[in-house]
Amino acid sequence: MTQKHLILTCMKNEGPYILEWVAYHMSIGFDHFLVYTNDCKDGTEQILRRLENMGILTHRRNPAREGARASHQVRAFRKSTKEQVYQDHDWVAVIDADEFVNIHAGRGQITDLTAAAPDAKCISLAWRLFGSADVTSFHDGFLTETLRRAAPQHCPSPAQAWGIKSIHRTDAVDLVGCHRPKSVPDNDWSALNWTGPAGTLMPQSYHKSSWRLNRDTISYELGQINHYAVRTRESFLLKSARGRAFGEGIRGAEYWADMNRNEEYDASIQPKLGAMKDIYDELICDPKLGRLHDRAVQWHRDQIQHIMDTEVGRALFAAISPSIDLFPGLRKRVAA
Model confidence pLDDT, tens digit, residues 165-193 = 999 999 999 999 999 999 999 999 999 99
How far is Cα 94 from Cα 87, in angstroms, rounded to an integer?
15
Q: Which residues of 122-145 are buried (b: 16+ CB within 10 A; e: fewer)?
A: bbbbbbbbbbbbbbeebbebbbbe
Indicate the helix (H) or strand (E) that contains 171. none
Q: Comparing C-alpha atoms, which of 178, 161, 29 is closest to residue 94? A: 178
- Taking residues 275-285, report their average pLDDT: 98
- In one letter, which amino acid is 332? K
Given a cut of 70, whether residue 282 has pLDDT beyond it is yes
Q: Among 57-71, 78-92, 182-196, 276-290, which is the least confidently predicted range?
A: 57-71
Given a cut of 60, whether residue 10 has pLDDT beyond it is yes
Arithmetic mean of pLDDT over the chain: 92
Asked if 174 contacts 6 with a C-beta cutoff of 8 angstroms, the reply is no
Q: Comparing C-alpha atoms, which of 190, 195, 158 is closest to residue 180? A: 195
| Cα R_g (the chain), whole angstroms | 19
pLDDT class of 41 with cuts at 50, 70, 90 = very high
pTM: 0.93
Interhelix angle 44-53/18-27, rounded to 10 degrees, is 40
Q: Comparing C-alpha atoms, which of 68, 268, 255 is closest to residue 149? A: 268
Given a cut of 70, whether residue 6 has pLDDT beyond it is yes
Model confidence pLDDT, tens digit, residues 109-120 = 999 999 999 999
Q: Comparing C-alpha atoms, which of 124, 166, 164, 128 is closest to residue 147? A: 128
pLDDT at 326: 46
How far is Cα 13 from Cα 2, in angstroms, rounded to an integer?
34
pLDDT class of 276 with cuts at 50, 70, 90 = very high
How far is Cα 164 from Cα 179, in angstroms, rounded to an integer?
6
**Phi, psi for residue 63 in degrees, rounded to 5:** -70, 165
Adjacent-strand bridge partners of 32: 6
Asked if 101 contacts 95 with a C-beta cutoff of 8 angstroms, the reply is yes
More confident residue, 330 or 133: 133
More confident residue, 246 or 302: 302
Given a cut of 80, whether residue 69 has pLDDT beyond it is no
Q: How far is CA 52 from the centre of its chain?
A: 20
How far is Cα 166 from Cα 195, in angstroms, rounded to an integer?
10
How far is Cα 217 from Cα 201, in angstroms, rounded to an integer?
10
pLDDT class of 331 with cuts at 50, 70, 90 = very low
pLDDT class of 332 with cuts at 50, 70, 90 = very low
pLDDT at 26: 98
Given a cut of 60, whether residue 267 has pLDDT beyond it is yes
Pairing of strands 164-169, 122-129: antiparallel
pLDDT class of 54 with cuts at 50, 70, 90 = very high
pLDDT at 71: 85
- Percent of the chain past pLDDT 90, that is, above it, reads 87
Count other C-beta atoms under 10 Å from residue 243's C-beta. 13
